[in-house]
Amino acid sequence: MSIHNQNVKEYLSGNIERITYHNPENGFCVLRVKVKNHKELVTVTGSVPSVSVGEYIKCSGIWYNDRNHGKQFKADFLKALPPDTLEGIEKYLGSGLIKGIGAHFAKKLVTAFGDQVFDVIEHKPELLSTLDGIGKIRANSICNNWKDQKIVREIMIFLQSHGVGTTRATRIFKTYGEEAIAIVSKDPYQLAKDIRGIGFVSADTIAGNLGITKDSLIRARAGLSYALLEATSNGHCALPLEILIENTQKLLGIDSSLVKIAIEKEIESKTIICDLIEDKPCIFLASYHFYEKQIAKMLLSIDKENVPWGDNNLQELIPEIEQKLSIRLADNQKEAIIKALSKRLMVITGGPGTGKTTLVKALLKLLELKKLNVKLCAPTGRAAKRLSETTGLEATTIHRLLEINSLGGGFKYNEDNRLICDYLIVDESSMIDVSLFYALIKALPDHIGLLLVGDVDQLPSVGAGQVLKDIINSNIITTVRLNQIFRQSESSAIITNAHKVNKGILPDLNFRKDNSDFYFIEAEPGDDIINKIITITCDRIPKKFNLNPINDIQLLCPMQRGGTGARSLNTELQKVLNPNYVKEITKFGQIFAVGDKVMQTENNYDKDTYNGDIGIISAIDQEEQEITIDFYGNKVVYDYDDLDQITLAYATTIHKSQGSEYPVVIIPITMQSYMMLTRNLVYTAITRGKKLVVIIGEKKAFAMAVKDSKSSNRYSRLKDWLQFQH
């Protein structure tokens, strides 16, 4: 029983010694507070937008006895103020609140300036540089960070008062500066457009609290734009009119008549376009409609022109190439090479082991003989690295080929500044989305030869569109489909089983052969499959094959969520594979520690890191609030606030693995993931493994996936544009 009357409101104040828990989304916190006349620290629970160690709090509430945690003070009102004692000031400054001030400099500042330290930082910054170790640069940094923090806190309090969390407050401030509150008050839906990590739902909450009614036209137009953006994140360039109206209605809870008015207004403002896909009226975001139309126009322009390098005596040169490379080309490979050099535009598609790499190497030798300036690229860093290794030539990502324009945004190479190149080979073309392909194709010189290489049966791009599939299905662009598995690949169970899956044939899951590169391990959902995954990842495979479990083994999951989803397995594997870390931080609901394997989850042009890049955390600087990640030898520094772009990568989704290859791939497949289980998903996962593929889970689920031939139907118009403009 509590010694206090739980029904009587009391008042409490004191200095925060420790923050046990703080949820920045809703402000809920558990604080340990030094209160006058209390021998031990008092546990205070309540809500506050922002809180730091050392601050002085005032609160009102009731005492209660928690069965698990003992006596606590439950505050219904809680306010945090700057500390008023030297001890509190030192803890406050040393808490990591102000970038550039850790425990060491906090002590130094308080010793020098006492309780006047806040006034010095704010109004007399020149005095800071008189202290040892604090030069002019650090002094300016401290002052600027102090100023920013004050503004951020105001934004936090504003957002919190309007029903939204404060995690993104710093990012809002970085985007809008001191105008943040004014901009948000005028049009809260702007947040969803401009601020990474703030979705429509959060912006809508703010709008409601600011007095924007449910049936207002500004809300209907914002909801409509969001519904279309959601469609692009699911791979569509457009949505049928009926589906868009239905989705927007469902999202906003408004009448269809208001949605139709919003569509009319958006069409008038030219932000969206209505066009036909297979005789159905569909609504496009204007940019995607433009991209697809322009891609078709430029591809056809390349295709119709004759080759500038001459296509004579190719047949005679092929034996010479075979001799130089010590290879023997199949008839369809020879045919493909002759076509590739007789046409300015061509597509080569085929599954693993069908000779795409050999064909490209032979073609490169011929291009070398013709003294052409050749460039190689791929959509991801890992795919580009693999292309370099197989060809012996430099290959880059498409982003690096085009070069990010750090000043004006966009790319350095564009329609006004073309690439210097005679022939371009693009590998893993199935991964390229519409917007990236448009950026690439408009930067090509007029005389270019272009070869697109990829496996059209794999998953389509993560971004909007299905560029490779649409080009092939148009039947306008010359395409060579390689389907013969070469003898050296026939011994690989990975390759033979991948092709079986692609044809809808279930591999023999009971087959056992010494030194096989393909295994199926049966496991039940729950503890059984998780324990087996941990055992084979951390123990059995590393020991048997002498492999590093972090660098050489990759778990590929159908989904993010669920017991065998990437999120859950990352938590389990982190405990086992990185148990003895030196430094750790918790951000955005994830623990990050030195030595962790992580992945970039979106393109960050400023840092030159891209969606799917994998690295290892090499350092955590708690004073500067920075984390360093080593990506393929490229060390990149992140602020703590940017760590929502990063996720653990011991396990990742199959979608995120596109364009990558790993020595060992482990694929958990259970009925929990049945909604996601399709043939091309499993096929893509199997083809990611080079030395070993292990499928673990339920036979029923695997059989269901192999049987399911439906691939996601994407709404795009590139195929139509190619056919109509031809």
Is residue 318 scored above 50 in pLDDT? yes
Is residue 513 scored above 80 in pLDDT? no
What mean pLDDT do residues 43-48 have? 88
To which residue do tokens 């597509």 refer?
347
429 CB-contact burial (10 Å; exposed 0-12 / middle 13-18 / buried 19+): buried
Specify whether the CB–CB gap between 364 and 512 falls below 8 A.
no
Report the distance separating Cα 295 and Cα 377, nearest Å.
18
pLDDT of 311 reads 66
What mean pLDDT do residues 444-456 have? 94
| Cβ atoms within 10 Å of 177's Cβ, excluding its own | 11
pLDDT of 404 reads 84
To which residue do tokens 């990502």 refer?
397
Report the distance separating Cα 552 and Cα 550, nearest Å.
6
Provide the 3-class DSSP secondary structure of residue 451: strand
Specify whether the CB–CB gap between 622 and 571 falls below 8 A.
no
Report the distance separating Cα 289 and Cα 305, nearest Å.
25
Report the distance separating Cα 505 and Cα 696, nearest Å.
18
pLDDT of 298 reads 96
Report the distance separating Cα 305 and Cα 158, nearest Å.
60
pLDDT of 489 reads 63
pLDDT of 3 reads 43
Q: Tell me the C-alpha to C-alpha distance, in Å, between residue 696 and each of 44, 75, 533, 603.
A: 47, 49, 8, 32
Q: Which residues contact 283 (CB under 8 A, 6 or more apart)?
A: 228, 238, 239, 240, 241, 244, 263, 272, 273, 274
Residue range 92-146, pLDDT digits in tens: 787 766 777 878 888 888 888 988 888 888 888 888 888 888 888 888 888 888 8
To which residue do tokens 């052969």 refer?
513
Q: Tell me the C-alpha to C-alpha distance, in Å, between residue 426 and each of 372, 396, 494.
A: 16, 10, 25
Query: What is the band of 91 on the pLDDT scale with cuts at 50, 70, 90?
Result: confident
Residue range 233-253, pLDDT digits in tens: 889 999 999 999 999 999 999
Is residue 4 scored above 50 in pLDDT? no
Residue range 479-506, pLDDT digits in tens: 999 888 875 666 788 998 999 998 999 9
Query: What is the band of 167 on the pLDDT scale with cuts at 50, 70, 90?
Result: low
Q: Which residues contact 158 (CB under 8 A, 6 or more apart)?
A: 181, 184
Report the distance separating Cα 443 and Cα 412, nearest Å.
9
Is residue 632 scored above 90 in pLDDT? no
| Cβ atoms within 10 Å of 216's Cβ, excluding its own | 14
Tokens at residue 656, please? 């995120």
What is the 3-state secondary structure of 639-693? EHHHHHHEEECCEEECHHHCCCCEEEEEEEECHHHCCCCCHHHHHHHHCCEEEEE
**Which position has the higher pLDDT, 106 or 465?**
465
* DSSP, res 381: H
Half-sphere exposure of 478 (CA within 13 A, CB side): 18
**Which position has the higher pLDDT, 1 or 281?**
281
Q: Tell me the C-alpha to C-alpha distance, in Å, between residue 268 and each of 193, 264, 274, 285, 357.
A: 20, 6, 11, 13, 49
Is residue 33 scored above 90 in pLDDT? yes
Report the distance separating Cα 249 and Cα 277, nearest Å.
22
Report the distance separating Cα 694 and Cα 697, nearest Å.
10
Is residue 307 scored above 50 in pLDDT? yes
What mean pLDDT do residues 55-83 have? 84
- Give, for 400, the enclosing helix (H) or strand (E): helix 398-402
Report the distance separating Cα 437 and Cα 442, nearest Å.
9
Report the distance separating Cα 417 and Cα 396, nearest Å.
19
pLDDT of 184 reads 86
pLDDT of 218 reads 93
Q: What burial letters (b/e) apply to 342-353, b meaning 16+ CB within 10 Å?
A: ebbbbbbbbbbb
What mean pLDDT do residues 326-346 have? 87
Strand partners, 694: 519, 666
Q: Tell me the C-alpha to C-alpha distance, in Å, between residue 687 and each of 359, 471, 495, 496.
A: 19, 23, 7, 10
Is residue 475 scored above 50 in pLDDT? yes
pLDDT of 277 reads 92
| Cβ atoms within 10 Å of 184's Cβ, excluding its own | 24
Specify whether the CB–CB gap between 265 and 496 falls below 8 A.
no
Residue range 204-224, pLDDT digits in tens: 988 888 889 999 999 999 999
What mean pLDDT do residues 522-526 have? 89
pLDDT of 269 reads 94
pTM: 0.78
Backbone angles phi, psi at 639, to 5 degrees: -70, 155
Is residue 556 scored above 90 in pLDDT? yes
Per-chain mean pLDDT for the chain: 87
Report the distance separating Cα 612 and Cα 599, nearest Å.
6
Is residue 1 scored above 50 in pLDDT? no
Is residue 164 scored above 70 in pLDDT? no
Q: Tell me the C-alpha to C-alpha distance, in Å, between residue 165 and each of 40, 150, 200.
A: 32, 17, 14
What mean pLDDT do residues 68-79 have? 85
Specify whether the CB–CB gap between 115 and 82 falls below 8 A.
no
pLDDT of 308 reads 84
Report the distance separating Cα 245 and Cα 463, nearest Å.
23
* CA nearest to 444, candidates 471, 417, 477: 417
pLDDT of 7 reads 64
**Which position has the higher pLDDT, 86 or 616?**
616
Conformational region of residue 197, where left means phi above 0, alpha means psi within -120 to 50, and beta covers everything else: left
Strand partners, 554: 665
Q: Residues of the chain with pLDDT > 90: what percent?
A: 41
To which residue do tokens 């945090």 refer?
80
Residue range 113-123, pLDDT digits in tens: 988 888 888 88
One-letter amino acid for residue 224 of the chain? L
